Amino acid sequence: MQLNGKVALITGAASGIGKEIAIVYAKAGASVAIADINLDAAQKTADEIKAAGGKAIGVAMDVTNEEAVNAGTKAVVDAFGQLDILISNAGIQIVNPIINYSFADWKKMQAIHVDGAFLTTKAALRYMYKDKRGGTVIYMGSVHSHEASPLKSAYVAAKHALLGLARVLAKEGAEYNVRSHVICPGFVRTPLVDKQIPEQAKELGISEEEVVRRVMLGGTVDGVFTTVDDVAQTALFLAAFPSAALTGQSFIVSHGWYMQ
C-alpha cells in the first residue's frame, strides 16, 4: 500500500493508460479521481475500482477548458480533502503530413496536450503549494518527447513541450515540495494506437501488419509492445519515491526503442 492516504487526479483515465494507472494506484491505497471528457466512461471506471474495494470518483473534465479544469479539481479536493498526485495524461492522436495538417487540428492537439497539461498543473498547484504540503505531477509524454516520426508534427511538438514544462515545474515547485516527471512510453495497444494503424497504413502506403512490425515495433529490442501495466508501474514508482532526488526527469518505457 505505497500510496496509502494519497489522493490522485488522473486525466484521460476512462481508457487505456490512464485507466490502468488509476487501477494500480487504487490497489496501492490511493483515492483516485477519474477525470475525463467522457463522464459516463469515467463513472464506469470509478465503479469498477470501487467494486474491487478501492476509493474512486468520476469527474467530468475537458482539459482544454480552464473553468472545467478548475471546477473538476475543486470537486476532487471537496470529495477527498486534498490532492497529492496529478497525472496529466489525457491525449489524442491525429496523423497527417505537415503539408496536409490543418491548422485547426494542430491547435486541437496543442490544446489537449500542452494547454491541458498547463491548466491541470496550475489548478493542482493551488492545493499542492498550500502550506508547502507538496505533491507529484506526472506528465504522460511519449518516446515522441525525444524522437520524431513522420505524420506526427503536432504530437511530437506537443510531447517535446511537456519536457520543458516538467523541468520548469521541478525548479519552481521545489520550495513547495512539488516534484515533476514525464513518462515516455513506446507504443501501447490502446484505442489511441488501434485507430492509427489503418490511418498510417493508408498514408504510408504499406499494410497494417507492416505498420505494427516496422513503424511501431521496428525500433524496439524485442518487437514487443509496451503495456499499460509497464507504464502504470513506472507511475507508481515515481509517485511513491521518497525524495526530490528524482525530479524534472523523463522516464522512457519503450523496450529499448529510444535510449537516452
Q: How far is the CB of 210 from ligand NAI (least distance, A)?
A: 17
20 CB-near residues (< 8 Å, 6+ apart): 228, 229, 231, 232
Residues 9, 15, 169, 257: which binds ligand NAI (CB under 6 A)? Answer: 15
> What is the per-residue binding string for ligand NAI in 31-50, x denoting contact by CB under 6 A?
-----xxx------------
Q: What residues numbered 81-100 form the site for ligand NAI, per CB under 6 A? A: 89-92
Residues 21, 24, 63, 169: which binds ligand NAI (CB under 6 A)? Answer: 63
- Rounded distance, CA 115 to CA 141, Å? 14
Question: Is 193 one of the binding residues for ligand NAI (CB under 6 A)?
Answer: yes
Q: How far is the CB of 99 from ligand NAI (least distance, A)?
A: 23
Question: Is 18 one of the binding residues for ligand NAI (CB under 6 A)?
Answer: yes
Q: How far is the CB of 42 from ligand NAI (least distance, A)?
A: 8
Question: Is 12 one of the binding residues for ligand NAI (CB under 6 A)?
Answer: yes
Query: What are the cell numbers at 215?
Result: 513503424
Q: How far is the CB of 187 from ligand NAI (least distance, A)?
A: 4
Catalytic choice (127, 139, 155, 258): 155
The reply to whether 139 belongs to the active site is no
Question: Is 11 one of the binding residues for ligand NAI (CB under 6 A)?
Answer: yes
Question: Is 58 one of the binding residues for ligand NAI (CB under 6 A)?
Answer: no
Residues 25, 80, 127, 187: which binds ligand NAI (CB under 6 A)? Answer: 187
Rank residues 61 and 236 by Cβ distance to ligand NAI and give the closer one.
Answer: 61
Catalytic positions? 155
Footprint of ligand NAI (CB under 6 A): 11-12, 14-18, 36-38, 61-64, 89-92, 112, 140, 142, 185, 187-188, 190-193
